[in-house]
């Protein structure tokens, strides 16, 4: 049942990205070009995502557990760490250069193109390399 919920929500997310145009790299880069040909579309997409998510968080606080079973994860600490700051900068630089982030890059695979395959492959390699690097840093601390 949990897999079905995951498949459904992931498909809805990808469809939303496709309909909103967020898989179009020029639209995302247009959002980041505040001194040039600025495109405010992403602001509306972000607002359209934040509002229902805020409602979902409030509703989940009153539930005993997830619909698909198990338990809700613990709330993460609200502090800015060096890993968070560095990761955010790398994410932002990659997003600005490529016009894609993880969600839209996976959605963009649905309409082909070798550029998307290269991006997703590079992203996966970075994720795999980041885990051993973190282990090394934790072991030396």
* Dist. CA 98–CA 104, nearest whole Å: 11
Domain of residue 109 covers: 2-140
What is the tens place of the pLDDT at every residue in 63-119? 888 877 778 777 777 889 888 898 889 888 888 888 888 888 887 787 767 888 888
Q: Locate 40 and state its tokens.
A: 């405010």
Phi, psi (degrees; rounded to nearest 5) at 75: -70, 130
Residue 121: pLDDT above 80?
A: yes
The total of other beta-carbon atoms located within 10 Å of residue 137's CB is: 10
Total structural domains within the chain: 1
* Helix/strand/coil percentages in the chain, nearest 5: 70, 0, 30
Residue 94 to residue 98: CA distance in whole angstroms: 6
């Amino acid at each position: 049942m949990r897999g079905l919920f995951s498949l459904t929500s992931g498909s809805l997310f990808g469809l939303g990205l496709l309909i909103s145009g967020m898989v179009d790299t020029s639209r995302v880069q247009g959002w980041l070009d505040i001194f040039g040909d600025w495109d405010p579309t992403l602001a509306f997409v972000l607002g359209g995502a934040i509002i229902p998510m805020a409602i979902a968080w409030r509703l989940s606080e009153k539930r005993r557990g997830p619909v698909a079973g198990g338990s809700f994860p613990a709330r993460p600490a609200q502090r800015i760490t060096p890993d968070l700051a560095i990761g955010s900068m790398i994410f932002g630089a990659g997003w600005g250069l490529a016009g894609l982030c993880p969600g839209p890059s996976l959605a963009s695979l649905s309409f082909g193109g070798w550029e998307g395959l290269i991006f997703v492959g590079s992203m996966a390699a970075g994720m795999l390399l980041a885990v051993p690097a973190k282990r090394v840093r934790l072991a030396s601390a």
